Every structure is written in structure tokens, then in C-alpha cells.
A and B are shown apart, each in its own frame.
Chain A
């Protein structure tokens, strides 16, 4: 087996084994902590689809993370307050059902990603970075100034949404849901990267002119990648909101965009499992360094700086070698 495959399996085993151990010794906090890592990993896998495979440096994925979060928040809010979302021209009611919420989160964030992508992809390079950052900020300010769903204070959902046959308030059962979703997302991304689309996208990232020469416009490839990427990150946002039973404009903030990007970079850009490693490392750092000092972001910054300057390719680059070029 390749070292990368071994590392992939080891990460999945660790991510499953640790909360099971925590469950056996009755440490629900550690289960929740791992669930956070799993959800962040999903968000990172989403960004990696655009960033790693398409080379699209989006600094605005908080927009999709937040939309997923608010999809959950708004639907559950109407369900818990027994008020319909819309009465005219047809009746739409809130829901507490997780699968419905996930579907709405995926569809809405996908549609928004399609719209933002169609605009932002008219540009490249630094323009693209700034524009995605700016559009995410637009959602942030909109969420703050729109009073119907809590505005700056956010929305609290009292009871976690339901999944048929499971008790979602039990940490280990909610963890299992998130873990299975992560596996499905990884499987999807793995298959997509090997499909005709994935190969074309990879080719477009490396050399747009050649892809154009064989008759495929890179714009459409990038747009599909960006849309899928946004939809996956939106799903992660819905799960994150359900984990906390709370949504607020913070999910839209530029720091969130930065953190999602950090998951991808710490793990390794362009590796299917890179963001999984990155998110686990991030949670580990947050937990360990956060215990050492309130100002743990200084150390995070220093580590990130070190990774960018000296260890390009992240954890996967260090352990599994550099056979995947990322630029």
C-alpha cells in the first residue's frame, strides 16, 4: 500500500476509535470535540474540491458554511415556534427532520455558489480571492442587519433535529451520523476526482490553454467545481449548527473562511483526505494550546506561518511525500 493510503486508513480509524473509547469511559465532551473535527473536515473537503482540485483560491467559503447553518436555523426555528415560513403563494412549514434540512442546505448553498461562482469566475488570481472574501462579508452583514432571524444575536434551537430511528441528542449517535456523512462525502470526492470531470478539472488547473485546445472551456469546469464545493461546505454548516443548536452571523465571518482554508492547508492541498488530517490537527491544537494559553491563536499563527514557509504540502506532504503537486 502507498503511504498515503495507510495514512488515510489510520486517520479514519483514529477518528472512529477515539470517540468510541471516550464513549466507553463516559466522556461526552471528547465525543463532541471529535464531532466538531468531523464536521470541520467535511467543510474542508468541500473547499478542497475547489481549491485543491480546481486551484480556485476561495476566501469566502464561510458564505456557504453560514447558509447551511441558517438553512438549519430557519427551518428548525419555524418548526419549534409552529409558525409557517411562507403562506403565500403556497404554504411552506419549518421542519425538524435532519435529512430534509440537509437537502435544503445542499440545494440552497449550491445555488448561491452557482451565482457567486458565475460572477467571481469572470476574474482570476488575486481578484478572485478578494471577491470571494467580499461576497462572504456581504452575507455576514446581511445576517447581522436582517432582524427576522435573530440578527446579531443569532438563533437558538432548543432541541437537536431528529433523524429516523436515532436519538440525536446522544453525542455518540450524532457523531455516528456525522462520521457516515464524512465517509460518503469522501467517497463522492474520491470518485469525482477520478471521473472524466475530475481529470479535466485537474488538467485545467495545471494548464488552461491545453484544456481549451481540446475543446473544453475551463469556465464551466470551474463553475461546477465551485458549486459542488459550496454545496458540500453548506452541508457541513447545517451539521455544525445542529451540533451547537445555535446559528449566528459568526458562521459567515471572514475568520471562518480563513479557518476552513487552514484545515485544507494544514492537511495538504489537493489530497482527498488532506482536510480530514487538517481539521483533526486544528482541533488538537485548539484543545492543547487553548489549555496552555488564552492567546493560542498566536501559536496557531506561528505554526501556520511555518507550514507555509517551510512545509508546503502540509501533513500529507511531510508524511506521504510530495507526489501530488499543488501548484
Chain B
């Protein structure tokens, strides 16, 4: 086992982690402020990816495609919030789960209707193609490195926004006491729409960035959504810091588990059996991580307040 491969997988884990963070941050904000569990968050991720692929095909510009993904997902978020989600804030979680599950069905089938069942492809821009030489002789794809940097920058921006700006203060106040900030004269329904649009934009943005690594297709959002749930459960619902730590943990566990476990079993088993046992176990590793956190911290690593 070479150290270079290990470092490469660590970077892959970091890249996966920051993308999960973009998804999880929106989910945890929406839950923290509005008390809503949003299953349709994966659909917004998909909408971002499709908007980017469509724009890139029409204009050939990757930056325009990214802008389109942000705009389309935020717009879809606003429309859905105003038409449907708004009615769900006072409902119990069962109703929220069902209504947003219904939204997934509508969004997924609607997208299949418009774009067809075949996957679309979003090309990486030429100026991000190729690899970059890092210390220790690692040749790492430039695009993945860019994703890590952009993801970390967005995370830093989000932290600053939450901790320093007026809107961030309102969001934190909203997490503590929804009725009180309404009573203090903050336009609560506009704040809700804004938070939902922000979460949607983050999801759409990560959908577009990942869309250039994988294919863009219907149903791409839900596996990521479920991983984002795992992230939030590990980090603690409502905590942006928890979402970040949880996302990096899950990203690392997934990539390093898939890489190391087959090798570890290779030490004690014959190669074929080691690969199958190792990869089967690796596919379960993040859920085992989640179960472990639950045993010791049922409210997640950074979760204090009630669910």
C-alpha cells in the first residue's frame, strides 16, 4: 500500500465531505430555523445539476452553468416554499415527510418528462482539466482540488454570514425562539423564504459541481440526501459546525473505508474473499459510524437542544 494512494483517498474524502456539507448545511439550517424536515432537498440538488448541464450545453460556459444552478435551485426553492412548504411548518413531522416525499415524486418524474431518462453530461471546463502536482509526488485532478477549495470557501462564507451579519443574527435568533423574533418585528415569513432559498441554492450548487464528476440524471439527489441526513444525525440537528464536522467525518469514512477495508481483510484472507467482504463492509461503514455516535451521543456531536 503506497502512501501516495492513501493521501489521494484522503483528498477524495475531503472533497466528498465538503460537497456533503453544502447539502447538509441547507438541511440543518432549514430544520433549525423552521423546524422542517425536507426530503425534497435532494430534488433541489438535482435541479441545480440539470440547470447547469442545460446551460453548459447551450452556452458552453461553465461559470454561467454554475450561476444557472444557483439561480434555478434558489428559484425552485422560493416557489416550493411559498406554494407548499409554508403550510407545513405547523404540521407534525409525519405530514412534512409525506408532503416532501410527494414533492420528490413530482420533481423526479417532471424532470424525467422534460429531459428524458438518459443521463446528461456536464463537462469540466478546459481550464480545470488535467492534474496538479502536490507535495509527496501526488498527481491530483485539478477539478477535484478546485471543488475542495470552493467548498471550503463557501463553508467559511456561511460561518461568517451566520456569525457576523444581521441576517445571520436573525437566523440564530430564529433557531432559539421563532415566535419572539416575529414579535420583535422581523418579517418572519420573508426570513423563512430566504433561509429556504439559501439552502436550496447551496444544494443546487453542489449538484452542479458534482454533476461534472458524475452523470446528471433523475434520482441523483436522494442518495446524497440520505448521506446528508447521516451527516446531520452525527453532527447534531441545527448546528452548522456539527454539519461541517459530520460531513468531513462521513466523507473520510466513506473514501478511506472503501480503500482500506479490503486491504485490511487482505492481510487475513485470500484476495477474492477479502475484496468482497471488505467492500461490503465499506458500504456499511458510515452507517456503523452513525450507530456508534448514537450509542454515545444520541443528539449528535454538537446537538444540544431538543429535536
Contact = CB atoms under 8 A, between A and B. Distances in A.
Contacts of B108: 297
A129 interface: yes
Interface in B246-296: 276, 279-280, 282-284, 287, 290-291, 294-295
Contacts, number: 131
Nearest to A306: B102
A86 interface: no
A134 B229 contact: yes
Interface string A108-129: 0000000000011011111101
Given A127-B237, A130-B229, A309-B87, A138 B287 contact: yes
A51 B21 CA distance: 31
B280 A127 contact: no
A261 B39 CA distance: 14
A295 B109 CA distance: 6
Interface stretch (A143-151, A190-198, A234-242): A143-151
Interface in A287-309: 295-298, 300-302, 304-305, 307-309
A134 B101 CA distance: 15
A311 B147 CA distance: 45
Interface residues of B, number: 46
Given A119-B294, A134-B229, A142 B284 contact: yes
A105 B31 CA distance: 37
Interface in B75-118: 84, 87, 92-95, 97-99, 101-106, 108-110, 112-113
Contacts of A144: 283
B74 interface: no
B295 A126 contact: no
A298 B279 contact: no
Contacts of A147: 276
B133 interface: no
Contacts of A78: none
A123 B307 contact: yes
Given A129-B97, A261-B98, A304-B105, A123 B294 contact: yes
A122 B199 CA distance: 28
A167 B85 CA distance: 51
Contacts of B109: 295-298, 301
Contact of A301 (B87, B93, B106, B283): B106
Contacts of A51: 94
B93 A302 contact: no
Given A145-B280, A297-B109, A298-B113, A305 B298 contact: no
A29 interface: no
A269 interface: yes
Contact of A298 (B92, B95, B106, B300): B106
A295 B87 CA distance: 26
A297 B105 contact: yes
8 contacts: A51-B94, A125-B93, A127-B233, A133-B226, A134-B287, A137-B226, A297-B109, A305-B99
Interface of A: 51, 57, 59, 119-120, 122-127, 129-131, 133-135, 137-138, 141-142, 144-148, 254, 258, 261-262, 265, 269, 295-298, 300-302, 304-305, 307-309, 312, 327
Interface of B: 31, 37, 84, 87, 92-95, 97-99, 101-106, 108-110, 112-113, 222-223, 226, 229-230, 232-233, 237, 276, 279-280, 282-284, 287, 290-291, 294-295, 298-300, 306-307
